[in-house]
Chain A
């Protein structure tokens, strides 16, 4: 009986719908990446494992977040950021692994991890410690601080070390793949601030009346696009590169 109560989804609740869809999509993507890992060349196995871990960690968190949301009707902010604290640095690991063959140093990985943690910690303070009723200045300050981390990652992916290493890799597959991931950072990651600005005091909340429930709607959509999409790009690089090796 309790089980049925927890799983009841209101027909008009798009957020609950995306929590469930997100959970299943992440789980399905994880299974796909783990199974496909056996089909790719040895040097890509770790990349696919990381892709699978990203979606699997997200699936577990989505399992808890959907119940939390249905039980309380509130944003599962803490669970959300715990998920991101684990998965976003893993996305940075993907950049490192892709460019490692071209000479990426461990320092690149740490810089990307630092920037992603900076971005998340500032975002968490902005969201979780928002004063009662919402404060625009609080939301703006921490939002901008978080954006600095994002801009660093964006620069690294488009012009910085990652882009240069991809260019030096002499592999069209890696070049194209890294560029696609850079597009994910530019467009896909930009969906998150839209959700952030829906919280009480956020600009979209104040100017357009978008309620705080939309925070999760945008986050769920962004997570599905970025985590699964990111993994699929890595998968595509791995499988194409492995097939090229076989035919060579």
Chain B
């Protein structure tokens, strides 16, 4: 069990009874509850992409930020021209990224079969989130005309089959990798338990709370911890407070950027709904982040980082 899994299990056990007792929580309240966690733990895990990428690639910081911004711009362009494609690309990249961070510490290289596992695992949890909260999602999307392009993508029966197939494939792949001795039996059991718990969490909790619980504990907390331990082993940071200072500038910059966009919407300068705008922003940050993290994990594998750092 990793510490991230422990934090996830402990959070589920402590929060679930209260949430079940509350019954349906309106999305506006969910946003009030979840936003601080997403801002304070979600954004920081991607706030040192430049530092991580530069450890593995000999390019200048300015050039990296330039390429980063071009990718963000291209992604925004795709959202304007082909929102459906941009949306699917965002979900697939996120799925791969979630899977990669979930399994990274078990491996020391990334052959194709591991990458397939990352993708199926991620598709399983994202499609599970959508399928198990399809009514809530459709209700939110029906309130804003921009989401009309994705309405057909969220049909319950489509999501059911995607969820079912990806989950079965994930389990079969994990069993196959265990049979081939790439994963231990204990790892297989733990990952089966975790996937089952995540799906149960999505089923039992409201959409945003369920996702935030997964995203903050199992994903962001784990990645932040890996980033800190790596930079600490490289003597780039020597304490957690150093690390916090390191992630602060781009975290604040991102929060200010989102605040600015919301301000423009509020003043009717930008004619988008808040939700749609946030989706584009998250997708645009995710695109370069996924590539950076892929490079980061390759570096960790080359350095045999996980030996003694799980």
Chain A interfacial positions (CB closer than 8 Å to B): 136-137, 139-140, 143-144, 147-148, 150-151, 154-155, 158-159, 179, 183, 186-187, 193, 203, 207
Contacts and interface: CB of A to CB of B under 8 A. Distances in A.
A159 B6 contact: yes
A148 B13 CA distance: 9
B269 interface: no
A140 B6 contact: no
A151 B13 contact: yes
A148 B10 CA distance: 9
A10 B10 CA distance: 40
B29 interface: no
Interface range on chain B: under 10, 10 to 19, 20 to 34, or 35 or more? 10 to 19
B59 interface: no
Interface in B1-41: 1, 3, 6, 9-10, 13-14, 17-18, 20-21
A155 B6 contact: yes
The 8 closest A-B pairs by CB, nearest first: A140-B17, A140-B21, A151-B10, A203-B20, A147-B13, A158-B1, A136-B21, A144-B17
Contacts of B17: 139-140, 143-144, 203
A151 B6 CA distance: 9
Interface in B181-201: 186, 189, 193
Contacts of B13: 147, 150-151, 193
Contacts of A207: 20
A151 B18 CA distance: 17
A137 B14 CA distance: 14
A144 B14 CA distance: 6
A147 to B, nearest CB: 5
A136 B5 CA distance: 28
Contact of A151 (B1, B3, B14): B14
Contacts of A143: 17
B6 A154 contact: yes
A187 B14 contact: no
Contacts of A203: 17, 20-21
Contacts of B1: 158-159, 186
B84 to A, nearest CB: 37
Given A193-B13, A203-B17, 17 more contacts: A136-B21, A139-B17, A140-B21, A143-B17, A144-B14, A144-B17, A147-B13, A154-B6, A154-B9, A155-B6, A155-B10, A158-B1, A183-B189, A186-B9, A203-B20, A203-B21, A207-B20
Given A136-B21, A137-B21, A203-B20, A147 B14 contact: yes
A155 B14 CA distance: 14
Contacts of B193: 186-187
Contacts of A137: 21
Contacts of A148: 14
Nearest to B186: A179
Contacts of B14: 144, 147-148, 151
Contacts of A187: 193
A151 B189 CA distance: 20
A183 B193 CA distance: 11
27 contacts: A136-B21, A137-B21, A140-B18, A140-B21, A143-B17, A144-B17, A144-B18, A148-B14, A151-B10, A154-B6, A154-B9, A154-B10, A155-B6, A158-B1, A158-B6, A159-B1, A159-B3, A159-B6, A179-B186, A186-B9, A186-B193, A187-B193, A193-B13, A203-B17, A203-B20, A203-B21, A207-B20
Instruction: Among B1, B3, B17, B18, find the residue whose CB has the most chain A CB atoms closer than 10 A.
Output: B17
A106 to B, nearest CB: 26
Interface in B203-261: none
B2 to A, nearest CB: 10
A192 to B, nearest CB: 12
A113 B186 CA distance: 28
Contacts of A159: 1, 3, 6
A148 B17 CA distance: 13
Nearest to A155: B6
A158 B189 CA distance: 15
A247 to B, nearest CB: 26
Contacts of A154: 6, 9-10
A140 B1 CA distance: 27
B308 to A, nearest CB: 12
Nearest to A139: B17
Contacts of A140: 17-18, 20-21
A133 to B, nearest CB: 16
Nearest to A207: B20
Contacts of A150: 13
A186 B10 CA distance: 11
Nearest to A137: B21
A151 B193 CA distance: 17
A137 B189 CA distance: 34
A187 B9 CA distance: 11
Contacts of B18: 140, 144
Contacts of A139: 17
A166 to B, nearest CB: 14
